A and B are shown apart, each in its own frame.
Chain A
Protein backbone atom coordinates (compact mmCIF):
# COMPACT_ATOMS: atom_id res chain seq x y z
CA UNK A 1 0.00 0.00 0.00
CA UNK A 2 1.19 3.49 -0.83
CA UNK A 3 1.86 6.23 1.70
CA UNK A 4 -1.30 7.60 3.34
CA UNK A 5 -2.26 11.14 2.30
CA UNK A 6 -3.33 12.31 5.76
CA UNK A 7 -2.32 10.83 9.10
CA UNK A 8 -4.00 12.16 12.22
CA UNK A 9 -2.37 10.98 15.44
CA UNK A 10 -3.75 11.54 18.93
CA UNK A 11 -5.33 14.91 18.23
CA UNK A 12 -6.75 16.89 21.15
CA UNK A 13 -8.19 20.37 20.70
CA UNK A 14 -9.10 22.71 23.53
CA UNK A 15 -10.92 26.05 23.41
CA UNK A 16 -10.18 27.34 26.90
CA UNK A 17 -11.69 24.72 29.18
CA UNK A 18 -13.83 23.19 26.46
CA UNK A 19 -12.38 20.15 24.75
CA UNK A 20 -13.57 19.94 21.13
CA UNK A 21 -11.53 16.90 20.03
CA UNK A 22 -10.47 13.85 22.05
CA UNK A 23 -7.58 11.70 20.87
CA UNK A 24 -8.59 11.61 17.21
CA UNK A 25 -6.70 9.05 15.13
CA UNK A 26 -7.32 8.46 11.45
CA UNK A 27 -5.50 7.56 8.26
CA UNK A 28 -6.84 8.90 4.98
CA UNK A 29 -5.50 7.25 1.83
CA UNK A 30 -4.46 9.11 -1.31
CA UNK A 31 -7.31 9.47 -3.79
CA UNK A 32 -9.92 8.59 -1.21
CA UNK A 33 -13.31 10.26 -0.80
CA UNK A 34 -13.40 10.52 2.98
CA UNK A 35 -16.30 11.90 5.02
CA UNK A 36 -16.54 13.23 8.55
CA UNK A 37 -20.11 12.59 9.62
CA UNK A 38 -21.83 13.61 12.81
CA UNK A 39 -24.43 15.84 14.42
CA UNK A 40 -23.70 19.56 14.78
CA UNK A 41 -21.19 20.28 17.51
CA UNK A 42 -19.50 16.87 17.24
CA UNK A 43 -16.16 18.41 16.24
CA UNK A 44 -16.15 17.44 12.57
CA UNK A 45 -15.69 21.01 11.31
CA UNK A 46 -13.02 21.64 13.94
CA UNK A 47 -11.17 18.56 12.72
CA UNK A 48 -11.42 19.74 9.10
CA UNK A 49 -10.09 23.15 10.11
CA UNK A 50 -7.11 21.60 11.88
CA UNK A 51 -6.28 19.79 8.63
CA UNK A 52 -6.69 23.08 6.69
CA UNK A 53 -4.48 24.93 9.18
CA UNK A 54 -7.10 27.38 10.46
CA UNK A 55 -6.92 25.81 13.93
CA UNK A 56 -3.85 24.61 15.80
CA UNK A 57 -4.04 21.25 17.50
CA UNK A 58 -3.55 21.28 21.27
CA UNK A 59 -1.91 17.87 21.14
CA UNK A 60 -1.10 15.32 18.45
CA UNK A 61 0.13 15.48 14.88
CA UNK A 62 -1.34 16.22 11.48
CA UNK A 63 0.71 14.72 8.65
CA UNK A 64 -0.13 15.54 5.06
CA UNK A 65 1.67 13.49 2.41
CA UNK A 66 4.25 12.51 5.00
CA UNK A 67 5.01 16.05 6.18
CA UNK A 68 4.22 17.20 9.69
CA UNK A 69 2.03 20.27 9.47
CA UNK A 70 2.87 21.62 12.94
CA UNK A 71 3.51 25.35 12.58
CA UNK A 72 2.60 25.38 8.88
CA UNK A 73 -0.09 28.04 8.29
CA UNK A 74 -3.07 27.48 5.99
CA UNK A 75 -1.56 29.44 3.12
CA UNK A 76 1.46 27.12 3.02
CA UNK A 77 -0.44 23.81 3.20
CA UNK A 78 -1.16 21.64 0.15
CA UNK A 79 -4.87 21.78 0.94
CA UNK A 80 -7.70 23.92 -0.35
CA UNK A 81 -11.12 24.40 1.10
CA UNK A 82 -14.66 24.79 -0.17
CA UNK A 83 -16.39 26.80 2.52
CA UNK A 84 -19.92 26.27 3.75
CA UNK A 85 -20.81 29.84 2.72
CA UNK A 86 -18.68 29.31 -0.45
CA UNK A 87 -16.85 32.55 0.40
CA UNK A 88 -16.88 33.77 -3.20
CA UNK A 89 -15.16 37.17 -3.32
CA UNK A 90 -18.10 39.46 -4.12
CA UNK A 91 -15.95 42.25 -5.58
CA UNK A 92 -14.36 39.97 -8.20
CA UNK A 93 -15.73 38.30 -11.31
CA UNK A 94 -16.03 34.54 -11.60
CA UNK A 95 -12.75 34.28 -13.50
CA UNK A 96 -10.96 36.58 -11.04
CA UNK A 97 -12.20 34.41 -8.20
CA UNK A 98 -10.83 31.27 -9.83
CA UNK A 99 -7.57 33.01 -10.72
CA UNK A 100 -7.09 34.34 -7.17
CA UNK A 101 -4.91 31.54 -5.84
CA UNK A 102 -2.83 31.25 -9.02
CA UNK A 103 -2.12 34.98 -8.86
CA UNK A 104 -1.04 34.60 -5.24
CA UNK A 105 1.37 31.94 -6.43
CA UNK A 106 2.84 34.51 -8.77
CA UNK A 107 1.90 32.87 -12.07
CA UNK A 108 1.84 35.01 -15.20
CA UNK A 109 -1.39 36.06 -16.91
CA UNK A 110 -0.58 33.82 -19.87
CA UNK A 111 -0.37 30.79 -17.59
CA UNK A 112 -3.42 31.66 -15.52
CA UNK A 113 -5.93 32.15 -18.36
CA UNK A 114 -5.97 28.57 -19.75
CA UNK A 115 -5.96 27.03 -16.26
CA UNK A 116 -8.96 29.13 -15.23
CA UNK A 117 -10.81 28.16 -18.39
CA UNK A 118 -10.06 24.49 -17.79
CA UNK A 119 -11.24 24.68 -14.19
CA UNK A 120 -14.47 26.40 -15.18
CA UNK A 121 -15.06 23.75 -17.83
CA UNK A 122 -14.46 21.03 -15.25
CA UNK A 123 -17.32 22.31 -13.10
CA UNK A 124 -19.61 23.09 -16.04
CA UNK A 125 -19.30 26.87 -15.98
CA UNK A 126 -17.71 27.47 -19.38
CA UNK A 127 -18.46 31.02 -20.50
CA UNK A 128 -19.27 32.29 -17.00
CA UNK A 129 -15.84 33.88 -16.48
CA UNK A 130 -16.93 37.48 -16.92
CA UNK A 131 -20.03 37.22 -14.74
CA UNK A 132 -20.20 39.27 -11.57
CA UNK A 133 -20.02 36.77 -8.74
CA UNK A 134 -22.83 38.29 -6.66
CA UNK A 135 -25.29 37.60 -9.45
CA UNK A 136 -24.81 33.82 -9.34
CA UNK A 137 -27.29 31.23 -8.05
CA UNK A 138 -26.46 29.00 -5.08
CA UNK A 139 -25.49 26.06 -7.28
CA UNK A 140 -23.30 28.25 -9.47
CA UNK A 141 -21.54 29.77 -6.47
CA UNK A 142 -20.79 26.27 -5.29
CA UNK A 143 -19.25 25.39 -8.63
CA UNK A 144 -17.12 28.54 -8.58
CA UNK A 145 -15.90 27.63 -5.08
CA UNK A 146 -15.00 24.16 -6.37
CA UNK A 147 -13.22 25.50 -9.44
CA UNK A 148 -11.32 28.03 -7.34
CA UNK A 149 -10.02 25.26 -5.08
CA UNK A 150 -9.41 22.63 -7.78
CA UNK A 151 -7.43 24.99 -10.01
CA UNK A 152 -4.79 25.02 -7.26
CA UNK A 153 -4.29 21.27 -7.80
CA UNK A 154 -4.21 20.65 -4.05
CA UNK A 155 -3.19 17.30 -2.60
CA UNK A 156 -6.30 17.40 -0.47
CA UNK A 157 -9.61 19.16 -1.12
CA UNK A 158 -11.53 19.97 2.06
CA UNK A 159 -15.29 20.49 1.80
CA UNK A 160 -17.20 21.99 4.72
CA UNK A 161 -20.88 21.04 4.34
CA UNK A 162 -20.78 22.22 0.72
CA UNK A 163 -24.28 21.03 -0.16
CA UNK A 164 -26.23 22.07 2.92
CA UNK A 165 -27.39 25.38 1.43
CA UNK A 166 -28.84 23.80 -1.72
CA UNK A 167 -32.39 22.53 -2.20
CA UNK A 168 -32.98 18.77 -2.21
CA UNK A 169 -33.01 18.20 -5.96
CA UNK A 170 -29.91 20.27 -6.65
CA UNK A 171 -28.19 18.66 -3.68
CA UNK A 172 -28.73 15.17 -5.07
CA UNK A 173 -27.49 16.25 -8.48
CA UNK A 174 -24.39 17.85 -6.96
CA UNK A 175 -23.69 14.71 -4.91
CA UNK A 176 -23.25 12.58 -8.00
CA UNK A 177 -21.38 15.37 -9.84
CA UNK A 178 -19.03 15.83 -6.93
CA UNK A 179 -18.36 12.10 -6.76
CA UNK A 180 -17.72 11.94 -10.51
CA UNK A 181 -15.44 14.98 -10.30
CA UNK A 182 -13.44 13.37 -7.51
CA UNK A 183 -12.90 10.21 -9.59
CA UNK A 184 -11.89 12.33 -12.56
CA UNK A 185 -9.30 14.49 -10.78
CA UNK A 186 -8.14 11.78 -8.37
CA UNK A 187 -7.56 14.27 -5.56
CA UNK A 188 -8.18 13.20 -1.95
CA UNK A 189 -11.49 14.70 -0.82
CA UNK A 190 -12.37 15.20 2.83
CA UNK A 191 -16.03 16.10 3.25
CA UNK A 192 -17.77 17.32 6.39
CA UNK A 193 -21.49 16.59 6.55
CA UNK A 194 -24.30 16.00 9.01
CA UNK A 195 -26.37 14.24 6.33
CA UNK A 196 -25.88 10.47 6.66
CA UNK A 197 -27.42 9.77 3.25
CA UNK A 198 -24.97 12.18 1.62
CA UNK A 199 -22.05 10.51 3.38
CA UNK A 200 -23.20 6.99 2.45
CA UNK A 201 -23.73 7.73 -1.24
CA UNK A 202 -20.53 9.69 -1.83
CA UNK A 203 -17.81 8.31 0.40
CA UNK A 204 -15.23 5.55 0.17
CA UNK A 205 -14.93 5.67 3.93
CA UNK A 206 -16.69 7.55 6.70
CA UNK A 207 -15.64 8.60 10.18
CA UNK A 208 -18.69 8.96 12.40
CA UNK A 209 -18.06 11.48 15.18
CA UNK A 210 -19.85 12.16 18.44
CA UNK A 211 -18.75 14.62 21.14
CA UNK A 212 -15.28 15.18 19.74
CA UNK A 213 -14.44 11.50 19.25
CA UNK A 214 -14.46 9.22 16.24
CA UNK A 215 -17.01 6.54 17.15
CA UNK A 216 -16.47 4.42 14.06
CA UNK A 217 -14.38 4.62 10.89
CA UNK A 218 -15.47 2.27 8.11
CA UNK A 219 -16.73 1.99 4.57
CA UNK A 220 -20.44 2.81 4.07
CA UNK A 221 -21.57 -0.84 3.83
CA UNK A 222 -19.85 -1.89 7.05
CA UNK A 223 -21.03 1.23 8.81
CA UNK A 224 -24.62 0.51 7.86
CA UNK A 225 -24.55 -3.25 8.40
CA UNK A 226 -22.20 -3.50 11.36
CA UNK A 227 -22.34 -0.34 13.48
CA UNK A 228 -20.22 -0.58 16.63
CA UNK A 229 -22.69 0.95 19.04
CA UNK A 230 -26.23 2.08 19.49
CA UNK A 231 -25.38 5.76 18.87
CA UNK A 232 -23.86 5.06 15.46
CA UNK A 233 -26.66 2.65 14.55
CA UNK A 234 -29.24 5.25 15.47
CA UNK A 235 -27.53 8.05 13.55
CA UNK A 236 -27.16 6.10 10.31
CA UNK A 237 -30.47 5.00 8.87
CA UNK A 238 -33.26 3.48 10.95
CA UNK A 239 -32.55 0.65 13.37
CA UNK A 240 -34.82 -1.49 15.54
CA UNK A 241 -33.36 -2.09 18.98
CA UNK A 242 -34.29 -5.23 20.90
CA UNK A 243 -33.38 -6.37 24.39
CA UNK A 244 -31.12 -9.37 24.52
CA UNK A 245 -29.69 -11.98 26.87
CA UNK A 246 -26.07 -12.65 25.95
CA UNK A 247 -24.46 -15.98 26.76
CA UNK A 248 -20.78 -16.18 25.94
CA UNK A 249 -20.19 -18.60 23.14
CA UNK A 250 -16.97 -20.25 22.08
CA UNK A 251 -15.08 -16.97 21.88
CA UNK A 252 -15.68 -16.65 18.15
CA UNK A 253 -19.42 -16.42 18.60
CA UNK A 254 -22.16 -15.25 20.93
CA UNK A 255 -25.29 -17.08 21.92
CA UNK A 256 -28.19 -14.66 22.07
CA UNK A 257 -31.72 -14.82 23.33
CA UNK A 258 -33.39 -11.87 21.62
CA UNK A 259 -36.61 -10.59 23.15
CA UNK A 260 -39.44 -11.30 20.69
CA UNK A 261 -37.25 -13.04 18.10
CA UNK A 262 -35.76 -15.95 20.00
CA UNK A 263 -32.50 -17.88 20.27
CA UNK A 264 -29.68 -17.37 17.79
CA UNK A 265 -25.92 -17.83 17.64
CA UNK A 266 -23.93 -15.16 15.81
CA UNK A 267 -20.26 -14.99 14.88
CA UNK A 268 -18.20 -12.30 16.59
CA UNK A 269 -18.08 -10.25 13.34
CA UNK A 270 -21.72 -9.43 14.08
CA UNK A 271 -20.64 -7.90 17.39
CA UNK A 272 -18.13 -5.30 16.12
CA UNK A 273 -18.23 -3.47 19.45
CA UNK A 274 -17.70 -6.64 21.46
CA UNK A 275 -20.14 -8.05 23.99
CA UNK A 276 -23.08 -5.62 23.85
CA UNK A 277 -26.36 -5.26 25.62
CA UNK A 278 -28.81 -4.64 22.80
CA UNK A 279 -29.49 -6.14 19.37
CA UNK A 280 -30.11 -4.08 16.25
CA UNK A 281 -31.91 -5.10 13.09
CA UNK A 282 -32.75 -2.90 10.11
CA UNK A 283 -36.42 -2.48 9.06
CA UNK A 284 -35.72 -3.88 5.58
CA UNK A 285 -34.12 -7.01 7.09
CA UNK A 286 -37.46 -7.97 8.59
CA UNK A 287 -40.19 -9.27 6.30
CA UNK A 288 -43.91 -9.75 6.75
CA UNK A 289 -44.46 -13.33 5.54
CA UNK A 290 -47.55 -14.24 3.54
CA UNK A 291 -49.12 -17.69 3.42
CA UNK A 292 -46.81 -20.21 1.85
CA UNK A 293 -43.69 -18.04 2.34
CA UNK A 294 -41.05 -19.10 4.79
CA UNK A 295 -37.84 -17.66 6.19
CA UNK A 296 -34.70 -18.87 7.92
CA UNK A 297 -36.17 -17.67 11.18
CA UNK A 298 -39.64 -16.60 12.12
CA UNK A 299 -41.47 -14.75 14.86
CA UNK A 300 -45.04 -13.60 15.23
CA UNK A 301 -46.53 -10.23 15.95
CA UNK A 302 -49.53 -7.96 15.60
CA UNK A 303 -49.79 -5.04 13.16
CA UNK A 304 -50.21 -1.85 15.15
CA UNK A 305 -50.01 0.57 12.26
CA UNK A 306 -49.29 0.58 8.56
CA UNK A 307 -48.47 3.37 6.10
CA UNK A 308 -48.71 2.89 2.37
CA UNK A 309 -46.17 4.83 0.27
CA UNK A 310 -46.85 3.41 -3.21
CA UNK A 311 -43.63 1.51 -3.76
CA UNK A 312 -43.15 0.74 -0.07
CA UNK A 313 -45.32 -0.11 2.91
CA UNK A 314 -44.16 0.62 6.44
CA UNK A 315 -45.47 -1.51 9.31
CA UNK A 316 -45.28 -1.03 13.06
CA UNK A 317 -45.49 -4.53 14.52
CA UNK A 318 -45.61 -5.50 18.18
CA UNK A 319 -43.75 -8.78 18.57
CA UNK A 320 -45.48 -11.46 20.61
CA UNK A 321 -44.30 -11.93 24.17
CA UNK A 322 -42.62 -8.49 24.47
CA UNK A 323 -43.64 -4.82 24.53
CA UNK A 324 -41.26 -3.90 21.73
CA UNK A 325 -42.71 -2.47 18.52
CA UNK A 326 -40.47 -2.90 15.46
CA UNK A 327 -40.48 -0.97 12.18
CA UNK A 328 -40.62 -3.09 9.05
CA UNK A 329 -40.31 -1.70 5.55
CA UNK A 330 -41.51 -3.86 2.67
CA UNK A 331 -41.18 -3.29 -1.04
CA UNK A 332 -44.66 -3.77 -2.48
CA UNK A 333 -44.99 -6.49 -5.08
CA UNK A 334 -47.80 -8.15 -6.98
CA UNK A 335 -49.67 -10.68 -4.91
CA UNK A 336 -49.16 -8.97 -1.58
CA UNK A 337 -52.34 -9.62 0.36
CA UNK A 338 -54.15 -6.69 1.93
CA UNK A 339 -53.32 -6.58 5.63
CA UNK A 340 -55.12 -4.65 8.34
CA UNK A 341 -54.20 -3.17 11.68
CA UNK A 342 -54.80 -5.83 14.31
CA UNK A 343 -53.87 -8.76 12.04
CA UNK A 344 -51.45 -11.28 13.44
CA UNK A 345 -48.61 -11.95 11.03
CA UNK A 346 -45.45 -14.02 10.81
CA UNK A 347 -42.25 -11.97 10.74
CA UNK A 348 -39.26 -13.42 8.91
CA UNK A 349 -35.63 -12.60 9.65
CA UNK A 350 -32.19 -14.15 9.31
CA UNK A 351 -29.41 -14.66 11.82
CA UNK A 352 -26.87 -12.74 9.75
CA UNK A 353 -28.96 -9.56 9.75
CA UNK A 354 -28.74 -8.92 13.49
CA UNK A 355 -25.92 -7.00 15.09
CA UNK A 356 -24.98 -6.96 18.76
CA UNK A 357 -24.47 -3.39 19.99
CA UNK A 358 -22.94 -1.74 23.02
Chain B
Protein backbone atom coordinates (compact mmCIF):
# COMPACT_ATOMS: atom_id res chain seq x y z
CA UNK B 1 0.00 0.00 0.00
CA UNK B 2 1.16 3.53 -0.74
CA UNK B 3 2.30 5.61 2.21
CA UNK B 4 0.05 8.52 3.08
CA UNK B 5 1.69 11.95 2.62
CA UNK B 6 3.24 13.35 5.80
CA UNK B 7 0.75 16.20 5.98
CA UNK B 8 -2.17 13.74 6.38
CA UNK B 9 -0.40 11.88 9.14
CA UNK B 10 0.29 15.16 10.90
CA UNK B 11 -3.35 16.25 10.58
CA UNK B 12 -4.57 12.96 11.98
CA UNK B 13 -2.11 13.23 14.87
CA UNK B 14 -3.32 16.75 15.61
CA UNK B 15 -6.92 15.62 15.50
CA UNK B 16 -6.25 12.72 17.89
CA UNK B 17 -4.41 15.05 20.26
CA UNK B 18 -7.33 17.47 20.28
CA UNK B 19 -9.77 14.60 20.85
CA UNK B 20 -7.96 12.67 23.56
CA UNK B 21 -5.48 14.99 25.30
CA UNK B 22 -8.11 16.28 27.77
CA UNK B 23 -9.06 12.71 28.67
CA UNK B 24 -5.41 11.79 29.16
CA UNK B 25 -4.98 14.75 31.49
CA UNK B 26 -7.51 13.19 33.87
CA UNK B 27 -5.31 10.31 35.07
CA UNK B 28 -2.21 12.52 34.93
CA UNK B 29 -3.57 14.94 37.50
CA UNK B 30 -5.42 12.26 39.41
CA UNK B 31 -2.07 10.79 40.45
CA UNK B 32 -0.39 14.15 41.03
CA UNK B 33 0.02 15.18 44.66
CA UNK B 34 -0.49 18.93 44.05
CA UNK B 35 -3.84 20.41 45.03
CA UNK B 36 -3.85 22.70 42.01
CA UNK B 37 -4.41 21.52 38.47
CA UNK B 38 -1.26 22.91 36.84
CA UNK B 39 2.09 21.96 35.41
CA UNK B 40 4.77 21.22 36.43
CA UNK B 41 3.67 18.02 38.09
CA UNK B 42 4.66 17.24 41.63
CA UNK B 43 5.13 13.71 42.86
CA UNK B 44 3.07 10.54 42.28
CA UNK B 45 0.30 10.07 44.82
CA UNK B 46 -2.90 8.10 45.38
CA UNK B 47 -4.20 10.46 48.09
CA UNK B 48 -7.09 11.70 45.91
CA UNK B 49 -8.38 8.17 45.46
CA UNK B 50 -8.19 7.70 49.22
CA UNK B 51 -10.13 10.93 49.66
CA UNK B 52 -12.84 9.66 47.29
CA UNK B 53 -13.14 6.50 49.34
CA UNK B 54 -13.73 8.55 52.48
CA UNK B 55 -16.43 10.84 51.03
CA UNK B 56 -19.82 9.49 52.16
CA UNK B 57 -22.01 11.68 49.90
CA UNK B 58 -20.10 10.41 46.90
CA UNK B 59 -20.96 6.82 47.78
CA UNK B 60 -24.66 7.69 47.79
CA UNK B 61 -24.40 9.36 44.41
CA UNK B 62 -22.46 6.42 42.96
CA UNK B 63 -25.04 3.98 44.31
CA UNK B 64 -27.86 6.04 42.76
CA UNK B 65 -26.10 6.18 39.41
CA UNK B 66 -25.44 2.44 39.38
CA UNK B 67 -29.05 1.62 40.25
CA UNK B 68 -30.36 3.99 37.60
CA UNK B 69 -27.93 2.70 34.98
CA UNK B 70 -28.73 -0.97 35.62
CA UNK B 71 -32.49 -0.36 35.61
CA UNK B 72 -32.25 1.79 32.50
CA UNK B 73 -30.12 -0.80 30.70
CA UNK B 74 -32.56 -3.61 31.45
CA UNK B 75 -35.72 -1.63 30.62
CA UNK B 76 -34.45 -0.02 27.43
CA UNK B 77 -32.97 -3.30 26.18
CA UNK B 78 -36.29 -5.07 26.80
CA UNK B 79 -38.15 -2.34 24.92
CA UNK B 80 -35.46 -2.46 22.24
CA UNK B 81 -35.89 -6.21 21.78
CA UNK B 82 -39.63 -5.85 21.27
CA UNK B 83 -39.35 -2.92 18.86
CA UNK B 84 -36.40 -4.31 16.89
CA UNK B 85 -37.94 -7.73 16.51
CA UNK B 86 -41.27 -6.26 15.42
CA UNK B 87 -39.75 -3.92 12.87
CA UNK B 88 -37.40 -6.58 11.50
CA UNK B 89 -40.08 -9.25 11.08
CA UNK B 90 -43.34 -7.50 10.35
CA UNK B 91 -44.59 -4.53 8.42
CA UNK B 92 -47.63 -2.54 9.42
CA UNK B 93 -49.25 0.73 8.32
CA UNK B 94 -47.30 3.72 9.58
CA UNK B 95 -44.27 1.62 10.46
CA UNK B 96 -41.70 4.06 9.14
CA UNK B 97 -42.97 7.20 10.85
CA UNK B 98 -43.56 5.20 14.04
CA UNK B 99 -39.99 3.89 14.10
CA UNK B 100 -38.78 7.37 13.21
CA UNK B 101 -40.48 8.87 16.27
CA UNK B 102 -39.05 6.17 18.50
CA UNK B 103 -35.55 6.90 17.18
CA UNK B 104 -35.95 10.69 17.46
CA UNK B 105 -34.56 11.13 21.02
CA UNK B 106 -31.16 10.09 19.59
CA UNK B 107 -30.92 13.52 17.96
CA UNK B 108 -33.23 15.52 20.21
CA UNK B 109 -31.38 18.00 22.48
CA UNK B 110 -31.34 16.48 25.94
CA UNK B 111 -32.21 19.77 27.52
CA UNK B 112 -35.57 19.73 25.73
CA UNK B 113 -36.25 16.20 26.91
CA UNK B 114 -35.16 17.13 30.43
CA UNK B 115 -37.28 20.27 30.71
CA UNK B 116 -40.38 18.77 29.11
CA UNK B 117 -40.21 15.64 31.28
CA UNK B 118 -39.82 17.83 34.35
CA UNK B 119 -42.92 19.81 33.44
CA UNK B 120 -44.95 16.69 32.65
CA UNK B 121 -43.96 14.85 35.82
CA UNK B 122 -44.71 17.83 38.06
CA UNK B 123 -48.01 18.56 36.29
CA UNK B 124 -49.08 14.95 36.78
CA UNK B 125 -48.41 15.44 40.46
CA UNK B 126 -45.56 12.96 40.84
CA UNK B 127 -42.53 13.68 42.98
CA UNK B 128 -39.10 13.70 41.46
CA UNK B 129 -37.20 10.55 42.36
CA UNK B 130 -34.69 8.12 40.95
CA UNK B 131 -37.55 6.71 38.89
CA UNK B 132 -38.07 9.98 37.07
CA UNK B 133 -34.41 9.87 36.01
CA UNK B 134 -34.83 6.26 34.90
CA UNK B 135 -37.80 7.36 32.80
CA UNK B 136 -35.73 10.03 31.07
CA UNK B 137 -32.79 7.72 30.53
CA UNK B 138 -34.92 4.94 29.07
CA UNK B 139 -36.25 7.49 26.61
CA UNK B 140 -32.70 8.42 25.61
CA UNK B 141 -31.27 4.89 25.53
CA UNK B 142 -34.02 2.93 23.80
CA UNK B 143 -33.16 4.30 20.31
CA UNK B 144 -29.56 3.15 20.73
CA UNK B 145 -30.76 -0.29 21.86
CA UNK B 146 -33.10 -0.54 18.87
CA UNK B 147 -30.31 0.42 16.48
CA UNK B 148 -28.02 -2.29 17.89
CA UNK B 149 -30.72 -4.97 18.17
CA UNK B 150 -32.26 -4.25 14.75
CA UNK B 151 -29.06 -5.24 13.02
CA UNK B 152 -28.91 -8.37 15.19
CA UNK B 153 -32.47 -9.37 14.23
CA UNK B 154 -32.05 -8.42 10.57
CA UNK B 155 -28.89 -10.50 10.25
CA UNK B 156 -30.66 -13.55 11.56
CA UNK B 157 -32.02 -15.88 8.88
CA UNK B 158 -35.79 -15.91 9.34
CA UNK B 159 -36.01 -19.53 8.26
CA UNK B 160 -34.17 -20.50 11.48
CA UNK B 161 -37.29 -19.59 13.45
CA UNK B 162 -39.47 -21.33 10.88
CA UNK B 163 -37.30 -24.44 11.08
CA UNK B 164 -37.75 -24.60 14.85
CA UNK B 165 -41.50 -24.13 14.49
CA UNK B 166 -41.58 -26.75 11.71
CA UNK B 167 -39.76 -29.20 13.98
CA UNK B 168 -42.58 -28.99 16.49
CA UNK B 169 -41.57 -26.25 18.92
CA UNK B 170 -44.07 -23.58 19.93
CA UNK B 171 -43.47 -19.98 18.88
CA UNK B 172 -42.68 -18.99 22.46
CA UNK B 173 -40.09 -21.73 23.00
CA UNK B 174 -38.65 -21.03 19.54
CA UNK B 175 -38.00 -17.49 20.70
CA UNK B 176 -36.08 -18.72 23.75
CA UNK B 177 -34.24 -21.63 22.14
CA UNK B 178 -33.32 -20.10 18.79
CA UNK B 179 -33.94 -16.35 18.60
CA UNK B 180 -32.54 -15.25 21.95
CA UNK B 181 -29.30 -17.27 21.77
CA UNK B 182 -28.63 -15.98 18.27
CA UNK B 183 -29.23 -12.31 19.11
CA UNK B 184 -27.55 -12.62 22.56
CA UNK B 185 -24.41 -10.75 21.45
CA UNK B 186 -26.66 -7.88 20.39
CA UNK B 187 -28.53 -8.01 23.69
CA UNK B 188 -25.28 -7.86 25.66
CA UNK B 189 -23.91 -4.91 23.70
CA UNK B 190 -27.27 -3.18 24.03
CA UNK B 191 -27.18 -3.65 27.83
CA UNK B 192 -23.62 -2.38 28.11
CA UNK B 193 -24.07 0.64 25.88
CA UNK B 194 -27.30 1.79 27.52
CA UNK B 195 -25.64 1.27 30.92
CA UNK B 196 -22.73 3.47 29.85
CA UNK B 197 -24.96 6.19 28.39
CA UNK B 198 -27.09 6.31 31.53
CA UNK B 199 -24.10 6.28 33.89
CA UNK B 200 -22.56 9.52 32.63
CA UNK B 201 -25.72 11.34 31.51
CA UNK B 202 -25.92 14.77 33.14
CA UNK B 203 -28.60 17.08 31.76
CA UNK B 204 -31.68 14.90 32.25
CA UNK B 205 -30.41 13.71 35.61
CA UNK B 206 -29.79 17.34 36.63
CA UNK B 207 -33.37 18.37 35.80
CA UNK B 208 -35.10 15.31 37.16
CA UNK B 209 -33.04 14.59 40.25
CA UNK B 210 -34.99 15.21 43.40
CA UNK B 211 -33.07 15.12 46.63
CA UNK B 212 -30.80 12.30 45.46
CA UNK B 213 -28.13 13.30 42.95
CA UNK B 214 -26.49 10.95 40.47
CA UNK B 215 -22.73 10.80 40.08
CA UNK B 216 -22.44 13.38 37.26
CA UNK B 217 -24.76 15.74 39.14
CA UNK B 218 -22.68 15.28 42.30
CA UNK B 219 -19.49 16.03 40.33
CA UNK B 220 -21.07 19.18 38.95
CA UNK B 221 -21.91 20.29 42.46
CA UNK B 222 -18.38 19.68 43.70
CA UNK B 223 -16.82 21.84 41.00
CA UNK B 224 -17.58 24.89 43.14
CA UNK B 225 -14.86 23.80 45.59
CA UNK B 226 -11.39 24.18 43.99
CA UNK B 227 -9.75 22.06 46.65
CA UNK B 228 -11.86 19.06 45.61
CA UNK B 229 -10.81 19.28 41.96
CA UNK B 230 -7.98 16.73 42.13
CA UNK B 231 -10.29 14.14 43.70
CA UNK B 232 -12.77 14.74 40.89
CA UNK B 233 -9.91 14.04 38.49
CA UNK B 234 -9.49 10.70 40.26
CA UNK B 235 -13.19 10.00 40.00
CA UNK B 236 -13.09 10.92 36.30
CA UNK B 237 -10.24 8.48 35.82
CA UNK B 238 -12.25 5.66 37.35
CA UNK B 239 -15.26 6.45 35.13
CA UNK B 240 -13.03 6.67 32.05
CA UNK B 241 -11.52 3.25 32.65
CA UNK B 242 -14.93 1.76 33.43
CA UNK B 243 -16.44 3.16 30.21
CA UNK B 244 -13.59 1.87 28.08
CA UNK B 245 -13.85 -1.59 29.61
CA UNK B 246 -17.60 -1.73 29.04
CA UNK B 247 -17.35 -0.53 25.44
CA UNK B 248 -14.59 -3.06 24.84
CA UNK B 249 -16.77 -5.89 26.14
CA UNK B 250 -19.71 -4.69 24.03
CA UNK B 251 -17.59 -4.66 20.90
CA UNK B 252 -16.16 -8.09 21.70
CA UNK B 253 -19.65 -9.58 21.84
CA UNK B 254 -20.72 -7.79 18.69
CA UNK B 255 -17.79 -9.27 16.76
CA UNK B 256 -18.29 -12.69 18.26
CA UNK B 257 -21.91 -12.60 17.09
CA UNK B 258 -20.89 -11.50 13.62
CA UNK B 259 -18.32 -14.31 13.38
CA UNK B 260 -20.74 -16.96 14.55
CA UNK B 261 -23.37 -16.19 11.97
CA UNK B 262 -20.67 -16.06 9.33
CA UNK B 263 -20.96 -12.40 8.36
CA UNK B 264 -18.09 -10.23 7.37
CA UNK B 265 -17.28 -7.58 9.93
CA UNK B 266 -19.06 -4.45 8.78
CA UNK B 267 -18.38 -1.39 10.88
CA UNK B 268 -18.85 -1.30 14.59
CA UNK B 269 -17.81 0.84 17.48
CA UNK B 270 -14.15 0.10 17.83
Contact = CB atoms under 8 A, between A and B. Distances in A.
Contact of A152 (B160, B167, B173, B181): B167
Interface string B170-183: 10010000100110
A81 B169 CA distance: 14
A104 B163 contact: no
Interface string A65-105: 00000000111100111011101011100000000110011
Contact of A104 (B157, B168, B261): B168
Contacts of B163: 81, 83, 87, 89, 148
Contacts of A104: 164, 167-169, 173
A87 B165 contact: no
A87 B164 CA distance: 9
B179 to A, nearest CB: 11
Give the secondary structure class of B's interface: helix
A358 B188 CA distance: 62
B159 A84 contact: yes
A91 B181 contact: yes
A148 B167 contact: yes
A8 interface: no
A100 B260 contact: no
Contact of A90 (B159, B162, B167, B182): B182
B167 A83 contact: no
A100 B173 CA distance: 12
Contacts of A85: 157, 159
Give the secondary structure class of A's interface: mixed
Interface in A50-75: 52, 54, 73-75
Contacts of B181: 91
Interface residues of A, number: 24
Interface string B225-269: 000000000000000000000000000000000001110000000
B43 interface: no
A148 B169 CA distance: 14
A134 B169 CA distance: 22
A101 B261 contact: no
A81 B164 contact: no
Contacts of B160: 87, 89-90
A81 B165 CA distance: 10
Interface in A102-123: 104-105
B159 A100 contact: no
Contact of A80 (B166, B178, B182): B166
Contact of B168 (A52, A54, A89, A152): A152
Contacts of B169: 75, 100, 104
A284 to B, nearest CB: 40
Q: Among B162, B164, B166, B169, which residue has the most Cβ atoms of chain A within 10 A?
A: B166
B168 A75 contact: yes
Given A80-B166, A104-B168, A134-B260, A89 B178 contact: yes
Contact of A100 (B157, B167, B182, B262): B167
A74 B262 contact: no
A81 B166 contact: yes
Contacts of A79: 166
Nearest to A160: B159
Contacts of A75: 165-170
A90 B262 contact: yes
B164 A74 contact: no
Given A75-B166, A75-B170, A100-B164, 14 more contacts: A54-B166, A80-B166, A81-B162, A83-B159, A85-B157, A87-B157, A90-B160, A90-B182, A90-B262, A91-B181, A100-B169, A104-B164, A134-B261, A148-B163
Interface of A: 52, 54, 73-76, 79-81, 83-85, 87, 89-91, 100-101, 104-105, 134, 148-149, 152
Interface of B: 157, 159-160, 162-170, 173, 178, 181-182, 260-262
